[in-house]
A and B are shown apart, each in its own frame.
Chain A
Amino acid sequence: MELGRRNAPIRRRSRLLPADGVLGPHRVARARRLLPIYALLLPGLLLYGVWAAYPLISSFILSFTDWNLVKPTSFVGLDNYTRALGDPLFWRSLSSTLGYTAVTVAGQLILGLGAALLLNQRIPGRSVLRLIYYLPVITSWVIVSLVFLYLYNGQAGALNWLLNDVLGIIDKDIAWLAEPSTALWAIAILGIWKGIGWTMVVFLAGLQSVPDDLYEAASMDGAGTWARFRYITMPFLRSTSTFLLVVLTIGGFNAFISIFVMSSAATGTIGGPLNSTDVALTYMWKQAFTEIDLGYGAALSFLLAGAILAVSVIEFRMIRRQEAT
């Protein structure tokens, strides 16, 4: 036993590194150089391959089947995809996703940049303020969803109290999450509030690359606040903004937990009221796990991934064109 175990590595090694006579000294040196490199990659790629790459491929294959755990699975070609393209509820969920993404990305970019510009100055209590802005980022989606569920309460919520009793903007209490016209936007406000801090931190890192003396020189030449921002800060933030735009867009398309938790608690159905908060992922979730239409759910998820990829490419292109002009 002992002997066998000690021999094993030697045998394996000799297979990977053939004797000089077989492949020549050059190949041996190359293998010897590459072996530790692949050894460093192996554990990560193995875990990744089993739990991400393999599920991805198998999900892709399943999207061409009628897999539903009940009857035996058979290939249905492109049926799931053509069905999705003719499914009005899918299109509706996709357009809700786009609306949610547009609003949350714009909100996070504008307010995150504003917060970064404020904190990039020598104002008192900077680190405390930074922590406060960042607090929603480190709080879990489940918790913030419950907090906003509480704030949005239709009868005695703090938001109704503020808007109705204090400010008088509305004249009767609104059930924010049970009203089809407001529910998705109420959830989008949570999305913005939660993401401002992260956007700010990335912008702050980007602002470090702006040399201070440029501002000083510009001020000497009489440039005002806006001119300094427009002609010095903005160009330096271009790659940061691109990165943020793409990452935040992907985040918007992935909105799920807040909608799942809030819509089911406020209306009893995921995506309610009246499908008004159904985004791509909640719709996919219901097809896969409520209807147990797993093949269809998989097809929906790849259509969504395609949409994310397309939007990311468009965003990159737009920014590059802007740079060229």
Chain B
Amino acid sequence: MTPSARKQPLPLAIISTGFVILWVVLAAFPFIWTVWGSFKVEQDFFSRDTFWDAIYGVRTIAQTGSAFTSDGYYGAWITRDFLSSVINTLIVTVSVVVISLTFGTLGGYALARSGHRYTFWILMAALVFRAMPHITLVSGYLLPFFEMNIWGYLPTAIIVLVAINQPFTLWMLHSFFLSIPKDLDESAMVDGCSRFQAFRLVVIPVMWPGVITTGLFSFLLAYNDFATTAMLLSQPNQTMVPKIASFLGTVQQEGNVMFAVAAVVSATAPLFVLVMFFQRQIVSGLTAGAVKG
């Protein structure tokens, strides 16, 4: 086909390009605006007069002498101890990713290599579990956890998040292992490896692309979770997202809204970096489920 036949006529090209530009603005502007506004004082970012206040920082200059202020960040990180929840988030996300990938690769590999009937049932059960709203599960945990005295601690939340994460991890890695030829590990077993040796020596070296993609989504689940961590962690053990929600409770006090804005920007920054470096893996992960599932 000649390129000219594929080319859009000019009006259509303008509409279509304009639409894409409009979408990019809609997608990106809220983030840019909030990052910009987080360096202003509350009277500017939530101006009663005009939003130009937030752009020029009229009251920020009047109050602090400069057009940008990091008071919000200082308040959130130092005064309200956002730092400790950042550390908690780090512990939770890293543990969840490592544990759920370990469980998930073993389970996903088994599901992909076994032709028995029960694999179907396990996968179906996983699909139903995947659809459960997390808060319904939390309402099941809460009372037993209180009774067993394990409520409020990080390991409790970690193991719960791992379990909530399992259905998705299993599906994803199952379909990834299906794309690795069976012959690979079977020939290793013909050569005298046991099943586990074949897995360790032959499959593990080639599975990293799928594991990294799945790991990204496990990370996102643990990082973005609000329902589980808000209900299962005690105040000092809170991770970032419930901490931000707790800032909102004290919003009436002057300046605290800016603490929340600064905390929100701080919590979004790692995700920006993640998308920047792993865009390709995220896109392939989103589509992998669609193409194979």
A and B part of one assembly: no
